Amino acid sequence: MVGTKTHSPKWSNVSIVGAVLAFISIPAALAGGIPILGLLIGWLAPNLFLIGIFLIVYGISRTNLSSKISASLVAIFATLVIGLNTRIPAIISDVVAHRPSKIELISRLQGEVGQPIHVITNTPGIAARWHQYAHAIPACYGDGCFVTRGFRTPSPSLGADYWHEDVMNVVLASGFSRAKEEEWAPTLRVTETNKPRETHIHLELKNADGNLLANYDGSYRNGFLGETKDGADSDEEEQPLLFEYLFHGNILSALAEHLSEQAQAYPLTNFLNSAALLSHPQGRALGLEPPGGLKGYASHSTKVALEVLEVKNFDPDWIIKGDIGTGFSKWSELTFDKVRATRCQTLLKPESVGAPLMQTWVLFTNDPTGRKKARYAGDVICDSDAIWFLDYVAESGRVTLTKFAINGDFRYRLSLEKPKPLYGFRGFIDIPTFQAKDGYLQFEWWDVTQSGGDMHVKRIMRVRANEPLVSSTS
């Protein structure tokens, strides 16, 4: 009869294939114990499970529905529901709520690096997931993560899972200094509110008169209903984490994260960079703003001509042999100024103890205010009455020298055009030869390269440049 549906056993076979795929996804998720190949199999397991679900539902639907389209729609709907499962309410909430986390900027705070600020915070640090829709994953076992054993949830202690900001370290790194208790100064307020499975961060900057300059609100998800808390592993939760990985580690859950706007990582750093404009003689290096406002990325400096006094070329190269076990002892003798390096340890100190030298300010130990700062951007030369900070990358084709008195008072910032480079060799100022004398900066410029444990010197130039007599940032 017309319209009669003919049942085909092949659709039952499709469901059986799907059931097999869904079943084998369990041992596949545990295959991480097999080096390298097992990692790939384990990574595919959640999507293999999802494909199995689709085939099961599609096979059943085709057995009972005459329309391919209807059967496909049913299978797709079921796959979406099962693929997103317990996260569906949270996804809907995130999409409907539409809570954009952006900085509301009323007026930018302007000043100089060292600007005092009051910090009021209810937490020493803030942190959140890098990926707010993260889930349980296979846990790495041993070095290199070539094999896995068991599963773990996102860990707040791992930088790969969570970003972290220490409130005071960020404030200091942004160029501010701690204000004294009764000092008239701007105020930064950091408030963290923790709710079940969500953290809310509020940032607020006011000027010294108490007028609001900028604020920020951001909500950060740190879990989902029914899922194991962050920081757990298979030693505590064996089976739940396996199934959480299978149900939430699929492509649908990854795509769902993009349906709603996610709050930005490192909100305090971004907030202060947007809400405050602090100038510094060293220019825009590491996010600093040059005096005079935005004028491109090149820092401001006095352009000074380099006068060549003598050139010595080596053909063949002058080879300085490396001493096994002692490093470049002869090389160090020629290029390392131990006296000045020791003096720098006396005249300068890191503002944040323990931070990498290139990622923190240094303070001048002879500065009575404790608020004058400088940045390492390369070599530093410390004489008994002056300190020079060298920078080979701030200005293309030039080397920049910023001079301070030992108490942190700015003297000048000048730049010199680098001598014409030699192919395959890098040029630099040989620190032991550097001296300020008779109104000139005098030094040797070396062009070298390394080959194995040896250093090859191609050219040495003895040069000098006029030293500015007054402070200048023109």
Structure tokens at 440: 């000139």
* Beta-strand pair 386-391/348-350: unpaired
Secondary structure of residue 42 in the 3-state scheme = helix
The four Cα atoms 468, 470, 473, 474 give a dihedral, to 10 degrees, of -70
48 or 13, which is more confident: 48
Which pLDDT score is estimated for 357? 75
Buried b (16+ CB within 10 A) or exposed e, 322-348: beeeeebeebeebbebeebeebbeebb
Kindly tell me if the per-residue pLDDT of 188 is higher than 60: yes
Q: What are phi and psi of 120, to 5 degrees?
A: -115, 115
pTM of the model: 0.83
Contact 448, 457 (CB under 8 A): yes
Tokens 């049942």 locate to 7
Structure tokens at 346: 């006396």
Above pLDDT 70, what percent of the chain? 90
pLDDT confidence bin for 62, thresholds 50/70/90:
confident
Helices 37-64/68-84 angle, 10° precision: 140
Residues 376-435 pLDDT 10s: 988 999 999 999 999 998 888 999 999 999 999 999 999 999 999 999 999 999 999 999
Helix (H) or strand (E) holding 339: helix 338-347
Kindly tell me if the per-residue pLDDT of 204 is higher than 70: yes
| DSSP per-residue letters across 3-40 | TPPPP-HHHHHHHHHHHHHHHHHHHHHTGGGSTTHHHH
17 or 143, which is more confident: 17
Residues 215-231 pLDDT 10s: 999 999 889 988 999 98
pLDDT confidence bin for 35, thresholds 50/70/90:
confident
Residues 72-108 pLDDT 10s: 999 999 999 999 999 999 999 888 876 668 899 999 9
Above pLDDT 90, what percent of the chain? 65
Which pLDDT score is estimated for 297? 43
Q: What mean pLDDT is predicted for residues 168-175?
A: 92
Which pLDDT score is estimated for 8? 63
Cβ neighbourhood burial of 50 (10 Å; 0-12, 13-18, 19+): buried
The residues, any chain, with a CB within 8 Å of residue 332's CB and separated by 6 or more, are none
pLDDT confidence bin for 285, thresholds 50/70/90:
very low
Which pLDDT score is estimated for 9? 66
Closest CA to 53 of 71, 30, 31, 76: 76
Q: What mean pLDDT is predicted for residues 295-308?
A: 75
Structure tokens at 24: 């084998």
Which pLDDT score is estimated for 332? 87
Q: What mean pLDDT is predicted for residues 184-199?
A: 94
Q: What mean pLDDT is predicted for residues 151-156?
A: 93
Cβ neighbourhood burial of 445 (10 Å; 0-12, 13-18, 19+): buried
Which pLDDT score is estimated for 14? 87
Which pLDDT score is estimated for 124? 96
Kindly tell me if the per-residue pLDDT of 243 is higher than 80: yes
Which pLDDT score is estimated for 324? 58
Distance CA 308, CA 311 (A): 7
Closest CA to 101 of 220, 210, 274: 220
Residues 311-336 pLDDT 10s: 999 999 999 987 655 555 788 889 99
Distance CA 427, CA 433 (A): 14
Which pLDDT score is estimated for 7? 54
Tell me, letter by letter, the H, E, C secondary structure of 269-307: HHHHHHHEEEECCCCCHHHCECCCCCCCCCCCCEEECCE
Average pLDDT, the chain: 88
The residues, any chain, with a CB within 8 Å of residue 236's CB and separated by 6 or more, are none
Structure tokens at 235: 């030693």
Residue 135 identity = H
Distance CA 136, CA 155 (A): 10
Cβ neighbourhood burial of 268 (10 Å; 0-12, 13-18, 19+): buried
| DSSP per-residue letters across 454-470 | EEEEEEEEEEEEEPPSS
Distance CA 318, CA 170 (A): 46
Structure tokens at 182: 């009764």
Which pLDDT score is estimated for 299? 58
Kindly tell me if the per-residue pLDDT of 284 is higher than 80: no
Cβ neighbourhood burial of 355 (10 Å; 0-12, 13-18, 19+): middle
